[in-house]
Amino acid sequence: MLTASEVNQMKYAQPSADRVLPVFLERWSPRAFADRDVSAADLKTIFEAARWAPSSYNEQPWRFLVGHKGSETYNKILDSLVPFNQDWAKSAPVLILGVAKTRFSHNDSPNNYAAHDLGAAMALMAVQATALGLAAHQMAGFDWVKARESFAIPETYAMGSVMALGYHGELTDLPEKFQAQEQSPRSRKALSEIVLEDWERPADLG
């Protein structure tokens, strides 16, 4: 079985274009987390990265509920996860629930881009975590109703995702059902499938 270091080397992405920042190639979403706390300074840095994400009208609609392992906040977030995610996420030292305010502050009109902006902020968090030597794994598999009720989140906030955050752990610490997937290579669609000049017609990127 591969070690954590060997898994990270195997997961390092092979870009199809030059000059991609290494941090993007290093980032991936592990399920194995080490029994090691995330420092307050690193956590603050990660949220500072989110703070500077772009947003419509500079609304900054994101709000983050952050729980450290053993805290009431952590247990509420963990309890909202589907059993499949609970099985591995319970080893992460930090769990973060992201939500987004769905109405603009300046005129109370609907903000149809709130979820988009929350996603941008959480993407920057994941990249910043990677730059600090940490790992982040975002999950859609959680009970929105349970999470909303547990934290009394107003209906004017849309549910986003849950992020597990911590240091890379060893595969041997994971339940066996997750180990094979952790050792599978990363893959992405070709640029010709996602960058278009007309519908279903790839753009010429040279």
Write out pLDDT tens, residues 133-183.
Answer: 999 999 999 999 999 999 999 999 999 999 999 999 999 989 999 999 899
Q: Are 130 and 157 in contact (CB under 8 A)?
A: no
Residues 6+ apart with CB under 8 A from 115: 100, 158, 160
Q: Which CATH class name applies to 4-202?
A: alpha beta
What's the confidence (pLDDT) of residue 1? 86
* Average pLDDT along the chain: 97
pLDDT at residue 206, rounded to an integer: 86
Supply the pLDDT for residue 200: 95
- Mean pLDDT to the nearest integer, 18-24: 95
Average of per-residue pLDDT across 197-203: 97
Domain ranges for the chain: 4-202
- The answer to whether residues 117 and 61 touch, using CB atoms and an 8 Å cutoff, is yes
pLDDT tens string 77-112: 999 999 999 999 999 999 999 999 999 999 999 999
Burial classification of residue 153, based on how many CB atoms lie within 10 Å of its CB (0-12 exposed, 13-18 middle, 19 or more buried): middle
φ, ψ of residue 8 in degrees (nearest 5): -60, -40
Q: What is the pLDDT of residues 38-56, one digit of tens each?
A: 999 999 999 999 999 999 9
Q: Is 164 helix (H, G, I), strand (E, B) or coil?
A: strand
